[in-house]
Structure 1
Amino acid sequence: MASRSYSLLVVFSILFILAFSNIAEAKLRPSQCKPRCTYRCSATSHKKPCMKYCLQCCAKCLCVPPGTYGNKETCPCYNNWKTQEGRPKCP
């Protein structure tokens, strides 16, 4: 009985990890951009420009990095899109 419970725990743990490990990499639908960008820009004092560029980036890349800052490596398109000056375009 104990080994069956352990086996079920292992299976559910693996499924949980697989389900949530690709959240940031999964392609978003355009309708999912606004809530993701709202959270992404929630910690900045420059919300309006942050939202503008985040929504542009999300529309192009269909991805928004998790969290309010950093983690851009999880969305290569979002991470690699630069301004004409060579600075990051996406917040």
Structure 2
Amino acid sequence: MKMKMNHILLIFISYIIAVNSATAPSPAPSALGCDEKCETRCAKSGYKEQCVRLCGICCGKCNGCVPSGPYVDKAECPCYRDMKNPKGKDKCP
């Protein structure tokens, strides 16, 4: 009986660890330097606030990768380049 309880407890602990690691939050965008990178990326945008907000979301999901300037090709950061909105258009400015 005791061995069966140990086995059940081990399975339960393994499940908790798996769930926690799958839902672990990604690092905060500010910790990745996204604020500064997005300010640089959106410096010449006509819609700067919206650009910085969207860029920050993309930067956080791409672990801090943002193209290095306003006119730099998005190919510099493939994750940033490949992110699409629900309509299939580029999500990241």
- Normalising by structure 1, report the TM-score: 0.64
Query: C-alpha root-mean-square deviation of aligned residues, in Å?
Result: 1.7
Contact 1:30–1:58 (CA<8 Å) still a contact in 2?
A: no
CA distance in 2, matches of 1:36, 1:58: 9
1:65 aligns with 2:67: yes
Instruction: Please list, as runs of the form range in 1=range in 2, the aligned pairs for 1:1-91 lying within 5 A after superposition.
Output: 30-62=31-63, 63-91=65-93
Give 4+ residue runs of structure 1 displaced > 4 Å after superposition.
Answer: none
Moved more, 72-81 or 29-38: 29-38
Structure 2: tracts of 5 or more residues without a match: 1-28
Secondary structure of the structure 1 residue equivalent to 2:33:
helix
- Normalising by structure 2, report the TM-score: 0.63
Identity of aligned residues (%): 41
Amino acid at match of 1:53: L
CA distance in 1, matches of 2:78, 2:85: 15
Contact 1:30–1:59 (CA<8 Å) still a contact in 2?
A: no
Amino acid at match of 2:51: C
Displacement after TM superposition at 1:45 (Å): 1.1
CA distance in 2, matches of 1:58, 1:80: 12
Q: How many residues were matched structurally?
A: 64
Based on CA coordinates, which of the two structures has the bigger radius of gyration? 2
Contact 1:40–1:67 (CA<8 Å) still a contact in 2?
A: yes
CA distance in 2, matches of 1:65, 1:82: 16
CA distance in 2, matches of 1:55, 1:88: 14
